[in-house]
């Protein structure tokens, strides 16, 4: 039996290396996103015509149907929309406990990334918490994880 | 009052339902289980295999944990001679995609009698073995590239993310989800086929159950089983040829809103079920209050709560208290999951919902019969995925 209470004092660190979990494979639409992460920049697809932000990346804008989209850098700031403390190995090589979260970026309503929370005590997490991107190199790729906003940024 | 064109209304009947053996581990193949269910459904209908001129399946064998026997396998195994309609759904809005295809085929005249099946083998061993979760082993491409590396390839964490937000916005509690689980478990005691038949559950036991992905405990997740269910749909013209009472399709919703991607959905407190419900209710004069029995989808407890709210049986955020008050129990305002659901009966992935609905409307549900049931709701899906159907006598 494991209840949530037992996880409250767990501190979530950035992933230990070597990485044993799934590795993302970029495709044509997502190449700029993943390339940006490898440079520790959060690049999100945006419509060049109407300015709509698009994630996950698409080949065109779902709001105005323009084909002119490009990856542009965002602030990396957001808030937790939802999160879950996971107590099973759902993806091979990602060991529990970990926290999966939806983070809404500040640039646009519901501009949402599925991600993991790091550098935080589980008991301190809450929906609405301001967070910032934390780039985590996993060898062949870089993942965009999130941590609580720190004062100096 | 109907507000849209609904050409399927009372034009399609469910002519037969069949179950296979259902158990935690049968040692049998998916094909063996599916074949048993199909043969039972054919016997149940009073029709013969030669009456079947269509076969529809979701999902066809797609190398995931949700695979079943392929459509080609079953077409051959049943010895179908004159398949005029043949459709396998690789993806689509939920477990009843094949049922939607069958109904549309019959109304269009593409086929007269269509068989659908769903077979499962208990999956959890495969879920936790590297390379077997459908993530493509260590490489995650396409949509999965944005999910699997963060530990959310499928399954409980994605539902948990939706459930946690619902809890945040509407105050849904552990006891609310527990009330749903207990309702199902209580009903399972009245269904000899249910996997938890003979094993009652208390709220304390529920609250002590192992955490899987907060707020979901293991008892919030449906029970993996080996089992299959088959459903046969026919043109209403065949009603006189059936062994039992025909059950009519009144209205159906199969709509998902903006996407079928879980993680790109803007408001996770309103599931695809809401969109399916809008479509379904617009096609009938019946209202939520007219429904005598509802097999709301309970692959996870949180989904059943969402279905009750999104179909308008209760207001947003009200399902939890409604359940705690016992309204969903047999004898209550609108009994739900009367076969024990998937939480109490086993994961038959939506097909058990349809079969139980048919048994209830025919008056063949034994100890768990809702007396006088004439209007029933069946549905499947969760998150963005949704199919809902009103069935009547």
A16-31 tens-digit pLDDT: 999 999 999 999 999 9
Residue B130's pLDDT is: 42
Residue B107's pLDDT is: 98
Q: Please tell me the number of Cα atoms within 13 Å of A149 on its side-chain side.
A: 15
Residue A126's pLDDT is: 97
φ/ψ (deg, to 5) at A141? -155, 175
Residue B132's pLDDT is: 43
Mean residue pLDDT of chain B comes to: 93
Angle of the B156-170 helix axis to the B301-310 helix axis, nearest 10: 50
A39-63 tens-digit pLDDT: 999 999 999 999 999 999 999 999 9
Strand pairing category for A43-47 and A69-73: antiparallel
Cα(A148)–Cα(B1) distance, integer angstroms: 52
Of A33-42, A78-87, B92-101, B178-187, where does mean pLDDT reach its minimum? B92-101
Residue B64 confidence class, pLDDT cut points 50, 70, 90: low
Q: What is the DSSP string of B145-172?
A: GGTGGGT-SSSHHHHHHHHHHHHHHH--
pLDDT at A93 over 80: yes
First CA to last CA distance, chain B:
19
Q: Which residues does chain A have within 8 Å of residue B220's beta carbon, measured at their own beta carbons? A: none
pLDDT at B131 over 60: no
pLDDT at B39 over 60: yes
**B135 with A91: Cβ contact below 8 A:** yes
Which is nearest to A94 in space by CA: B147, B64, B62, B300? Answer: B147
What is the least distance, in Å, from the CA of B175 to any CA of chain A? 14
Instruction: Say if A89 is an interface residue toward chain B (CB within 8 Å).
Output: yes
φ/ψ (deg, to 5) at A96? -75, 160
Residue B92's pLDDT is: 77
Residue A2 confidence class, pLDDT cut points 50, 70, 90: low
Instruction: Say if A28 is an interface residue toward chain B (CB within 8 Å).
Output: no
- Dihedral sign, Cα of residue A112, residue A117, residue A123, residue A124: negative
Mean residue pLDDT of chain A comes to: 94
- Return the residue matching tokens 């459903």: B231
Tokens of B263: 């993680």
B160, closest residue in chain A (CA to CA): A84
**B151 with A55: Cβ contact below 8 A:** no
Residue B257's pLDDT is: 87
Residue B139's pLDDT is: 84
User: For the CA atoms of B254, B46, B361, B99, what is the dihedral angle to 10 degrees?
Assistant: -10
Q: Which of B130, B146, B168 sits opposite A114 (nearest CB)?
A: B146
Q: Which residues does chain B have within 8 Å of residue A114's beta carbon, measured at their own beta carbons? A: 146-147, 150, 152, 263
pLDDT at B274 over 50: yes
Model-wide pTM > 0.90: yes
Helix (H, G, I), strand (E, B) or coil at B206: helix
Instruction: Say if B124 is an interface residue toward chain A (CB within 8 Å).
Output: no
**B146 with A100: Cβ contact below 8 A:** no
Of B68-82, B262-276, B347-361, where does mean pLDDT reach its minimum? B68-82
How many residues comprise chain A?
153
Angstrom distances, CA of residue B29 to CA of B41, B67, B68, B373:
19, 12, 9, 36
Find the mean pLDDT for residues B29-46: 95
Residue B123 confidence class, pLDDT cut points 50, 70, 90: low
What Rg do the C-alpha atoms of chain B give, in angstroms?
19
Residue B62's pLDDT is: 60
Residue B304's pLDDT is: 98
**B153 with A91: Cβ contact below 8 A:** yes
pLDDT at B372 over 80: yes
Q: Which residues does chain A have within 8 Å of residue B156's beta carbon, measured at their own beta carbons? A: 86, 88, 90
pLDDT at B390 over 50: yes
Residue A101's pLDDT is: 98
């Amino acid at each position: 039996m494991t209840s949530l209470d037992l996880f409250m004092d767990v501190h979530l660190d950035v992933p230990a290396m070597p990485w044993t979990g799934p590795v993302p494979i970029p495709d044509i639409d997502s190449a700029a996103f993943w390339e940006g992460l490898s440079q520790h920049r959060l690049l999100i697809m945006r419509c060049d015509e109407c300015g709509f932000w698009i994630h996950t990346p698409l080949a065109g804008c779902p709001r105005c149907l323009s084909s002119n989209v490009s990856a542009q850098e965002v602030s990396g700031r957001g808030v937790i929309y939802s999160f879950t403390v996971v107590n099973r190995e759902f993806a091979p090589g990602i060991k529990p406990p970990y926290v999966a979260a939806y983070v809404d970026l500040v640039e646009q309503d519901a501009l949402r990334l599925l991600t993991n929370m790091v550098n935080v005590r589980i008991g301190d997490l809450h929906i609405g918490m301001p967070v910032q991107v934390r780039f985590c190199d996993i060898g062949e790729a870089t993942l965009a994880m999130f941590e609580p906003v720190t004062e100096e940024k | 009052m109907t507000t849209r064109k609904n050409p399927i209304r009372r034009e399609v009947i469910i002519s037969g339902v069949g179950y296979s053996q259902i158990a935690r581990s049968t040692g049998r193949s998916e094909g063996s289980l599916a074949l048993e269910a199909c043969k039972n459904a054919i016997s149940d209908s009073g029709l013969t295999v030669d009456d079947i001129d269509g076969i529809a399946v979701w999902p066809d064998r797609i190398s995931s944990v949700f695979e079943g026997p392929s459509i080609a396998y079953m077409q051959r195994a049943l010895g179908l001679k004159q398949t005029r309609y043949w459709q396998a759904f690789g993806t689509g809005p939920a477990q009843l995609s094949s049922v939607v295809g069958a109904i549309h085929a019959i109304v269009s005249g593409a086929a007269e009698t269509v068989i659908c099946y769903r077979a499962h083998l208990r999956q959890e061993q495969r879920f936790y073995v590297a390379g077997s979760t459908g993530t493509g082993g260590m490489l995650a491409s396409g949509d999965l590239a944005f999910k699997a590396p963060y530990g959310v390839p499928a399954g409980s964490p994605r539902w948990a993310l939706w459930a946690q937000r619902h809890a945040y916005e509407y105050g849904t509690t552990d006891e609310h989800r527990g009330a749903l689980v207990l309702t199902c478990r209580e009903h399972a005691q009245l269904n000899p086929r249910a996997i938890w038949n003979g094993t009652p559950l208390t709220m304390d036991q529920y609250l002590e159950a192992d955490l899987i992905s907060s707020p979901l405990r293991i008892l919030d997740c449906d029970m993996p089983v080996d089992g299959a269910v088959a459903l046969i749909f026919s043109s209403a013209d065949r009603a006189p040829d059936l062994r039992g009472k025909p059950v009519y399709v009144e209205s159906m919703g199969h709509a998902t809103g903006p996407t079928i991607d879980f993680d790109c959905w803007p408001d996770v407190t309103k599931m695809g079920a809401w969109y399916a419900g809008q479509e379904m209710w617009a096609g009938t004069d019946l209202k939520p209050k007219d429904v005598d029995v509802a097999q709301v989808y309970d692959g996870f407890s949180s989904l059943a709560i969402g279905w009750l709210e999104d179909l308008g049986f209760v207001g947003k955020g009200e399902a939890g208290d409604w359940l705690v008050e016992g309204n969903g129990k047999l004898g209550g305002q609108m009994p739900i999951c009367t076969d024990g659901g998937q939480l109490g009966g086993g994961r038959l992935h939506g097909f058990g919902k349809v079969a139980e609905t048919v048994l209830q409307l025919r008056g063949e549900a034994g100890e768990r019969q809702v007396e006088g049931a004439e209007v029933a709701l069946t549905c499947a899906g969760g998150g963005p995925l949704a199919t809902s159907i009103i069935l009547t006598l």
